[in-house]
A = this chain, B = another copy of it.
Amino acid sequence: MASTLELLEEHRLFGGWQQRWRHLSSTLNCTMTFSIFLPAPQGESPPPVVWFLSGLTCTDENFTTKSGAQRVAAELGLVLVMPDTSPRGAEVPNEEAYDLGQGAGFYLNATQAPWATHFQMYDYLSAELPALIADNFNISDRQAIAGHSMGGHGAIMLALRNPGRFVSASALAPIVNPCTVPWGEKAFRAYLGDDRQAWLPYDSCWLMRQATQTLPILIDQGDSDQFLADQLHPERLEEIAIEKNWPLTLRIQPGYDHSYYFIASFIEDHLRFHATHLRA
């Protein structure tokens, strides 16, 4: 049965429309919201899509209100889809922690109690939500994916696990090797259990080693990011990319931190990168 979409907000923005929608997710067993930017039509063909996955503590609204991405999307004729970062609601389990539970879904399918009933973000983002968007909006199947921090993990991981689905992937300050860093180890142990073998299909470093089909990847990383040394390690993914001759560009941005100010400063480059591949 198709979900019913309920429009919560609509705003004119850069000549296009910023909308926020609510729907009942059968995958997550709860009500979800997502935001979408629809540029003014440019020609006859349906516009390509860039997904943006956000980081810990975010909803669909952080990137929507703070990134300034819609200005560039309007110019380039790109639809932007901004999902939430976890299942939501009073019936959904939570922790008094910013890095586990609501706001911290890690874009995976949980197998452990009490999380498994709702925390199925991998299926939500790889199947239910794309189908819902395709059914309800006039979009192309040319799609790219981007994200920040936990959402950078989500973006690269989803792209690597679904060859051919996205023409390009990009990330700002992504968690590329969650199996070996404190954020990832805490979340994966809670959601997936103690067996580290079960964690590997959500680890971008492991996935890139296994991959047989490449796609272009752009990563920006601030060198004043407070999480760089302990949580992020983009050089590990770069090393694998070099070994495999993978088209990955890692740019270190001097003085930038982990905040939305960093995202705002570089999101234009990411959308232009994706547009080049989406229009190719």
Contacts and interface: CB of A to CB of B under 8 A. Distances in A.
Interface string A199-227: 00000000000000000000000101000
A11 B71 contact: no
B12 A65 contact: no
Given A66-B66, A68-B71, A12 B264 contact: no
Contact of A12 (B11, B66, B260, B261): B261
Nearest to A255: B12
A14 interface: yes
A264 to B, nearest CB: 7
* Copies of this chain, count: 2
Interface in A1-58: 11-15, 18
Contacts of A222: 12
Nearest to A10: B257
B65 A265 contact: no
A70 to B, nearest CB: 8
A15 B11 CA distance: 30
Contacts of A265: 12-15
A249 interface: no
A264 B224 contact: no
Contacts of A65: 65-66, 260
Interface size range on A against B: 20 to 34
Max count, chain B CB within 10 A of own CB: residue among A12, A15, A68: A12
Interface string A242-280: 000000000001111101111011000000000000000
Nearest to A266: B14
A11 B259 contact: yes
A258 to B, nearest CB: 10
A13 B68 contact: no
Interface string A170-208: 000000000000000000000000000000000000000
Contact of A224 (B12, B18, B259, B261): B12
A12 B71 contact: no
20 contacts: A11-B256, A11-B257, A11-B259, A11-B262, A12-B222, A12-B224, A12-B255, A12-B265, A13-B261, A13-B264, A13-B265, A14-B264, A14-B265, A15-B265, A65-B65, A65-B66, A65-B260, A68-B71, A68-B264, A71-B264
